Amino acid sequence: MKRLLLSSAALLGLAGTALAADLPEPALTEVTPEVYGPTVFNWTGPYVGATIGYGFGTADTRTGGRSRDIDLNGVLGGIYAGYNFQVHPNFLIGAEADFVFTGQSGDGRVAGSRITQDNTWMSTIRARVGGTFDRFLVYGTGGVAFADLKTKVRGSGSETKNKVGWTLGAGIETAFTDNIVGRLEYQYVDFGSDSSNFGGTRVKSSFNDNIVRAGVAYKF
């Protein structure tokens, strides 16, 4: 009886081993690591910066039936601030204001009168529209402009006028880091014409400016 039990147990053990050998091995689940692509730069947000450049201005000055273009060239520098809103991965709109002091000055003789003109400061308030390519931006800009133009007629006095005009321009920007953005920009500014009377000497002048400048801003 004992031998019979041992034989039965052995047979059951062999059968279990054979059955286990026939069972398929459990499939190993392969874990694929997640892959993250590079983060695209987001231009949305406020910024403030400093700018420096050069102005190539021209004042078409008329008096005594004669006219002459007086060049008002000089260095300019100041600050700018604005806000960008990225409405699409490749499209941006925004608004910006700036204020610069200028060293633009020039003089010339018109109909026997020595005339000196100076532009001491300038400011603009503009809209911006641009195309973005990750950390690179190309934009156009336009709006209203303000300036302080001083006209002096030697021996007859001087007058300073706050002038209002318009501006159009374009530029490029590059985000060096998530917070530091550099730019190059060109603006054309037109202040129209007006006239002044200096002790019987009537001077009419129209002023326009071409500005090239660079800037660095902090984006918040």
pLDDT tens readout for residues 104-124: 999 999 988 899 999 999 999
In tens, the pLDDT along 46-94 reads 999 999 999 999 999 999 889 999 999 999 999 999 999 999 989 999 9
Q: Can you tell me the distance from the alpha carbon of 99 to that of 6, in angstroms, rounded to the nearest whole number?
A: 104
The answer to whether residue 177 scores a pLDDT higher than 70 is yes
Check residue 38 and give its pLDDT. 64
Burial class from Cβ neighbours inside 10 Å (0-12, 13-18, 19+) for residue 81 reads middle
Pick from 39, 146, 130, 120: which is nearest to 92 by CA? 130
Q: Can you tell me the distance from the alpha carbon of 202 to that of 123, in angstroms, rounded to the nearest whole number?
A: 28
Residues in the chain, overall count = 220
The answer to whether residue 4 scores a pLDDT higher than 70 is no
In tens, the pLDDT along 132-176 reads 999 999 999 999 999 999 999 998 889 999 999 999 999 999 999
Of all residues in the chain, what percent carry a pLDDT higher than 70? 83
Check residue 57 and give its pLDDT. 95
Check residue 64 and give its pLDDT. 86
Tokens of 88: 């699409």
Burial class from Cβ neighbours inside 10 Å (0-12, 13-18, 19+) for residue 184 reads middle
Could you tell me if 207 and 161 are in contact, meaning their C-beta atoms sit under 8 angstroms apart? no
Question: Pick the residue with more confidence: 3 or 185?
Answer: 185
Check residue 181 and give its pLDDT. 98
- Within 10 Å of residue 134's Cβ, how many Cβ atoms? 13
Query: What's the gap between Cα 50 and its chain centre?
Result: 12
Contacts of 50 (CB under 8 A, 6+ apart): 77, 78, 79, 80, 215, 216, 217
The DSSP 8-state label assigned to residue 129 in this structure reads E
Could you tell me if 90 and 138 are in contact, meaning their C-beta atoms sit under 8 angstroms apart? no
Check residue 10 and give its pLDDT. 45
Q: Can you tell me the distance from the alpha carbon of 180 to that of 39, in angstroms, rounded to the nearest whole number?
A: 17
In tens, the pLDDT along 23-40 reads 455 555 555 556 555 678
Check residue 156 and give its pLDDT. 86
Provide the whole-model pTM: 0.80
In tens, the pLDDT along 9-21 reads 444 344 445 444 5
